[in-house]
Amino acid sequence: MGYKYFEELPCWQVARELCQEVQQIIHQERFRRDFSLKDQISRSSGSIMDNIAEGFDDGSSREFVRFLGYSQRSCGEVQSQLYRAWDCQYLNRDQFSRVYHLAGECRKQIKGFRRYLRENSF
């Protein structure tokens, strides 16, 4: 694999960027009042990067692939929650598109990395 630290992983870097974007949007006036959705999307976006880090530190490729799967599913969860925020009119079109596509890019990178690990590690 060639990475010494989880922070070097491109998918973790995109996950971090996604988490930062989510933090920006949930602190807007209208979104900030929806405590349930705000908490849920914050936890989902943080879970993406956290599971990548946790799986990386396990030392087992099989476990890493499993944790990457959790991260991949959390990307979809963030995307679904963005639709909820859009439907509640907490986001404008540009905000929705930017964060939605970033979550999609993150999911794509994780999926590709999982495939790579399965094909080259087991």
Rounded distance, CA 42 to CA 26, Å? 8
Which amino acid is present at 47?
S
pLDDT at 1: 60
The domain spans of the chain are 10-121
Better pLDDT: 3 or 105? 105
Q: Which fold has domain 10-121?
A: de novo design (two linked rop proteins) (1.20.1440)
For the chain, the residue count is 122
pLDDT-derived band of residue 59, with 50, 70 and 90 as boundaries?
confident
Number of other CB atoms surrounding residue 72 within 10 Å = 21
Give the ranges where 1-122 is alpha helix by DSSP (H): 10-26, 29-32, 35-58, 61-87, 93-121
pLDDT in tens, 79-114: 999 999 999 999 999 999 999 999 999 999 999 999
